[in-house]
Structure 1
Amino acid sequence: MGWLDRVLGDDRQRAKTQYQGRESASETAARKRREGHRARVFRDGDQAGQKFRGRRDWT
Protein backbone atom coordinates (compact mmCIF):
# COMPACT_ATOMS: atom_id res chain seq x y z
CA MET A 1 0.00 0.00 0.00
CA GLY A 2 1.42 3.36 -1.04
CA TRP A 3 1.27 6.56 0.92
CA LEU A 4 -1.44 7.94 -1.39
CA ASP A 5 -3.67 4.97 -0.58
CA ARG A 6 -3.24 5.71 3.11
CA VAL A 7 -4.17 9.36 2.57
CA LEU A 8 -7.06 8.95 0.16
CA GLY A 9 -8.18 5.43 0.90
CA ASP A 10 -8.24 2.30 -1.21
CA ASP A 11 -9.59 2.95 -4.72
CA ARG A 12 -10.69 -0.63 -5.20
CA GLN A 13 -12.72 -0.59 -2.02
CA ARG A 14 -14.22 2.78 -2.96
CA ALA A 15 -15.13 1.44 -6.40
CA LYS A 16 -16.92 -1.53 -4.81
CA THR A 17 -18.93 0.61 -2.40
CA GLN A 18 -19.30 4.25 -3.48
CA TYR A 19 -19.44 3.78 -7.26
CA GLN A 20 -21.33 0.50 -7.33
CA GLY A 21 -23.92 0.36 -10.09
CA ARG A 22 -22.63 3.46 -11.89
CA GLU A 23 -21.36 3.40 -15.44
CA SER A 24 -17.64 4.11 -15.79
CA ALA A 25 -16.26 6.71 -18.18
CA SER A 26 -14.89 4.03 -20.52
CA GLU A 27 -18.23 2.20 -20.53
CA THR A 28 -20.01 5.47 -21.32
CA ALA A 29 -17.66 6.21 -24.23
CA ALA A 30 -18.04 2.68 -25.62
CA ARG A 31 -21.84 2.88 -25.36
CA LYS A 32 -21.89 6.23 -27.20
CA ARG A 33 -19.63 4.84 -29.95
CA ARG A 34 -21.96 1.86 -30.40
CA GLU A 35 -25.04 4.09 -30.47
CA GLY A 36 -23.45 6.41 -33.03
CA HIS A 37 -22.45 3.49 -35.21
CA ARG A 38 -25.95 2.04 -35.11
CA ALA A 39 -27.46 5.41 -35.97
CA ARG A 40 -25.14 5.77 -39.00
CA VAL A 41 -25.92 2.24 -40.20
CA PHE A 42 -29.66 2.83 -39.90
CA ARG A 43 -29.38 6.22 -41.61
CA ASP A 44 -26.88 5.48 -44.40
CA GLY A 45 -27.14 1.74 -44.85
CA ASP A 46 -24.72 -1.03 -44.10
CA GLN A 47 -22.51 -0.55 -47.17
CA ALA A 48 -22.25 3.26 -47.02
CA GLY A 49 -18.77 4.63 -47.47
CA GLN A 50 -17.49 1.57 -49.28
CA LYS A 51 -16.68 2.16 -52.92
CA PHE A 52 -16.57 -0.59 -55.46
CA ARG A 53 -12.95 -1.59 -55.96
CA GLY A 54 -13.10 -3.20 -59.34
CA ARG A 55 -10.85 -3.07 -62.39
CA ARG A 56 -9.60 0.41 -63.23
CA ASP A 57 -9.48 1.67 -66.77
CA TRP A 58 -6.34 3.75 -67.34
CA THR A 59 -7.22 4.95 -70.81
Structure 2
Amino acid sequence: MQLGIWVGIVVSAILSFVIAGLFNQPLHWYLFILILFIGFFTQTVILILQTPDEHE
Protein backbone atom coordinates (compact mmCIF):
# COMPACT_ATOMS: atom_id res chain seq x y z
CA MET A 1 0.00 0.00 0.00
CA GLN A 2 1.32 3.40 -0.90
CA LEU A 3 2.11 5.98 1.74
CA GLY A 4 0.01 8.61 -0.04
CA ILE A 5 -3.17 6.64 0.54
CA TRP A 6 -2.50 6.47 4.31
CA VAL A 7 -1.75 10.17 4.43
CA GLY A 8 -4.90 10.94 2.44
CA ILE A 9 -7.10 8.98 4.84
CA VAL A 10 -5.61 10.69 7.91
CA VAL A 11 -5.79 14.16 6.32
CA SER A 12 -9.42 13.63 5.34
CA ALA A 13 -10.29 12.59 8.91
CA ILE A 14 -8.57 15.70 10.29
CA LEU A 15 -10.26 17.89 7.69
CA SER A 16 -13.68 16.48 8.60
CA PHE A 17 -13.05 17.38 12.26
CA VAL A 18 -11.97 20.90 11.31
CA ILE A 19 -15.11 21.41 9.22
CA ALA A 20 -17.30 19.98 11.99
CA GLY A 21 -15.65 22.36 14.45
CA LEU A 22 -16.41 25.32 12.20
CA PHE A 23 -20.10 24.40 12.24
CA ASN A 24 -20.11 23.88 16.04
CA GLN A 25 -20.88 20.16 15.82
CA PRO A 26 -20.06 17.86 18.75
CA LEU A 27 -16.61 16.31 18.39
CA HIS A 28 -15.67 13.08 20.15
CA TRP A 29 -12.39 11.18 19.93
CA TYR A 30 -14.12 7.91 19.00
CA LEU A 31 -15.64 9.55 15.92
CA PHE A 32 -12.14 10.37 14.69
CA ILE A 33 -11.05 6.76 15.20
CA LEU A 34 -14.22 5.53 13.49
CA ILE A 35 -13.53 7.74 10.46
CA LEU A 36 -9.99 6.34 10.26
CA PHE A 37 -11.17 2.72 10.54
CA ILE A 38 -13.82 3.22 7.86
CA GLY A 39 -11.23 4.79 5.55
CA PHE A 40 -8.71 2.00 6.05
CA PHE A 41 -11.43 -0.67 5.71
CA THR A 42 -12.66 0.86 2.46
CA GLN A 43 -9.11 1.00 1.11
CA THR A 44 -8.55 -2.64 2.08
CA VAL A 45 -11.70 -3.70 0.22
CA ILE A 46 -10.57 -1.75 -2.84
CA LEU A 47 -7.14 -3.43 -2.72
CA ILE A 48 -8.74 -6.88 -2.42
CA LEU A 49 -11.02 -6.21 -5.39
CA GLN A 50 -8.07 -4.99 -7.49
CA THR A 51 -6.00 -8.15 -7.00
CA PRO A 52 -5.89 -10.45 -10.03
CA ASP A 53 -8.13 -13.49 -9.92
CA GLU A 54 -6.21 -16.71 -9.14
CA HIS A 55 -8.50 -18.89 -11.27
CA GLU A 56 -7.55 -17.21 -14.52
| TM-score, normalising length: structure 1 | 0.38
RCO greater where, 1 or 2, for CA within 8 Å and sep 6 or more?
2
User: Which of the two has higher C-alpha Rg?
Assistant: 1
| TM-score, normalising length: structure 2 | 0.39
